[in-house]
């Protein structure tokens, strides 16, 4: 038998709709009593570790999940989670645990009693993937709507559509069919960092046309430990922001940069005032392939390891 640890954390998959259309958590998780059509050789070890809407999830909850997973010896792990921050929990676990047993996150866009509810099907699919030998060594995975995505690159792209989870630029790495689990791509292996704390304040700032120093001037080394910027295009900023960015860098506040664009990567290729080449020369770190919320977690993990200087830069810029 294959023991699969199931950690329920709440979210829409564990909620119900009332007569007026409001969706909220109930006294019990409907998945706890659901009939599941899963492989005969799978034994589920089920825990309601917490029951929270995903906007309530914090890095401390992510650390709690990490610690629980590392306490057990099982063939795989499935985590049910609200979709709003599912990608962040998945990324945190992928960056801190490494390639042990398969860890699969799933959720739902429709609550358990809504017409066309997708939760139970996604849950069964996630169990099948977690029990699949081919899933080992592929990092943390997200299984939704018959697709298998890597935690590193997947993101929520639609507020309500059941096909909300997508991997920009690269696409899913596998599919769930009626009878098989199919993998088509291999993920580049990255370094993982073990952490036992998630202390630190790292805000995210999004760039826009006409941006000046004002938002950056609200930040100081006394109140932040790092900064993530969603830059324009391939990694450029309005030139009026540069003095404030330089002041933060001079005070050894690490600044990482991603693009606000949905697809593509950042590169310091433009050489005008405020462009990527100038920002890179100043010491801004360019992160490829991940969005700002994941960049924030990656920097938080790095600072709690702790990494500094060249080691911090190498870890952060590695894809």
Active site residues: 12, 83
91, HSE (Cβ side, Cα atoms, 13 Å) = 23
83 is in an annotated binding site: yes
Give the DSSP H or E segment for 262. Answer: none
Give the DSSP H or E segment for 89. Answer: helix 86-96
CA distances from 65 to 4, 71, 82, 155, 264 (A): 15, 10, 14, 20, 31
22 contacts 28 by C-beta, under 8 angstroms? no
219 contacts 227 by C-beta, under 8 angstroms? yes
Q: Checking DSSP bridges between strand 204-206 and strand 227-231, what pairing results, if any?
A: parallel
84 is in an annotated binding site: yes
- CA 243 to chain CA mean position, Å: 32
**307 Cβ contact partners less than 8 Å away, ≥ 6 residues apart:** 193, 315
Looking at 146-273, which runs of residues are DSSP E strands?
147-150, 155-156, 165-166, 174-176, 181-183, 204-206, 227-231, 255-259
Q: How far apart are CA 235 and CA 214, in angstroms?
A: 20
112 is in an annotated binding site: no
143 contacts 172 by C-beta, under 8 angstroms? no
Binding residue positions for substrate: 54, 83-84
Residues at the binding site are: 54, 83-84
């Amino acid at each position: 038998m294959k023991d699969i640890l199931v950690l329920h954390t709440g979210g829409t998959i564990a909620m119900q709709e009332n007569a007026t259309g409001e969706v909220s958590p109930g006294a019990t998780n409907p998945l706890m009593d659901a009939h599941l059509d899963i492989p005969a050789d799978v034994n589920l070890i089920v825990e309601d570790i917490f029951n929270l809407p995903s906007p309530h999830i914090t890095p401390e909850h992510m650390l709690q999940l990490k610690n629980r997973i590392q306490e057990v010896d099982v063939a795989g792990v499935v985590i049910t989670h609200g979709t709003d921050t599912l990608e962040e929990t998945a990324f945190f676990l992928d960056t801190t645990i490494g390639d042990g047993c398969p860890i699969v996150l799933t959720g739902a866009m429709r609550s358990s009693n809504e017409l066309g509810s997708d939760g139970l099907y996604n849950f069964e699919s996630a169990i099948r993937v977690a029990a699949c030998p081919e899933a080992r060594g592929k990092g943390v995975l997200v299984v939704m709507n018959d697709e298998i995505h890597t935690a590193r690159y997947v993101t929520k792209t639609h507020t309500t559509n059941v096909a909300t989870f997508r991997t920009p630029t690269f696409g899913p790495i596998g599919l769930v069919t009626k009878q098989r689990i199919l993998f088509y791509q291999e993920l580049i292996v990255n370094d993982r960092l073990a952490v036992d704390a998630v202390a630190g304040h790292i805000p995210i700032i999004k760039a826009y046309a006409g941006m000046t120093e004002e938002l950056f001037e609200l930040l100081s080394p006394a109140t932040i430990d790092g900064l993530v910027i969603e830059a324009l295009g391939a990694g450029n900023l309005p030139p009026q922001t540069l003095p404030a960015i330089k002041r933060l860098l001079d005070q050894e506040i690490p600044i990482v940069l991603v693009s606000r664009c949905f697809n593509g990567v950042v590169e310091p290729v433009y050489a005008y005032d405020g462009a990527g080449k100038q920002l890179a020369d100043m010491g801004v770190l360019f992160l490829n392939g991940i969005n700002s919320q994941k960049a924030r977690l990656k920097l938080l993990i790095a600072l709690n390891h702790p990494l500094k200087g060249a080691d911090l830069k190498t870890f952060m810029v590695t894809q």
